[in-house]
Amino acid sequence: MARQYVVSACLAGEPCRYDGGCSPCPAVQRLIRAGQALPVCPETLGGLPTPRVPSEIRGGRVVAKDGTDVTDAFTRGAEEALRLAQENGCTAAILKARAPSCGSGEIYDGTFTGTRVSGEGVFARMAREAGLEIWNEETFTEGK
């Protein structure tokens, strides 16, 4: 049976990004059309609105640019996204690079200056710890 992926909904083309936009990725969209990918947006699943104030991870917390601590909403959304992924038999994930929920390998450093540091987003970490194989749209190679 074909492998099942959980994917960032913004890569699928859903306008769920903090700024109301999306980041469509043709490889992810092909997987969706083939019935091999489940789109989720952990931040909207956590109850955050779109558009929303951008957030970054700083000192183990998720903080919005206006100073609001949004760690609880990010955590709730990641838990719900993981539950959906597991319920749908997903064993791998393709998640938006560098985002505070979905980033893997590196994220922004919490200063909102575009500075990258090694780290991972809240959902990416949870999914990795649950045993899913994690890709982003830049590292994923079709046929994996």
Q: Which residues bind ligand SF4 (CB under 6 A)?
A: 8-10, 16-17, 41-43, 96, 99, 101-102
Closer of 9 and 85 to ligand SF4 (Cβ): 9
* Polymer length in residues for the chain: 144
Distance in angstroms between the alpha carbons of the first and the last residue of the chain: 13
Residues 6+ apart with CB under 8 A from 23: 8, 10, 11, 17, 96, 137
State the nearest-atom distance from the C-beta of 141 to ligand SF4, in Å.
20
State the nearest-atom distance from the C-beta of 94 to ligand SF4, in Å.
11
State the nearest-atom distance from the C-beta of 82 to ligand SF4, in Å.
13
State the nearest-atom distance from the C-beta of 15 to ligand SF4, in Å.
9
The rounded distance, in Å, linking the Cα atoms of 144 and 130 is 19
The rounded distance, in Å, linking the Cα atoms of 70 and 61 is 8
Closer of 51 and 89 to ligand SF4 (Cβ): 51
Closer of 87 and 143 to ligand SF4 (Cβ): 87
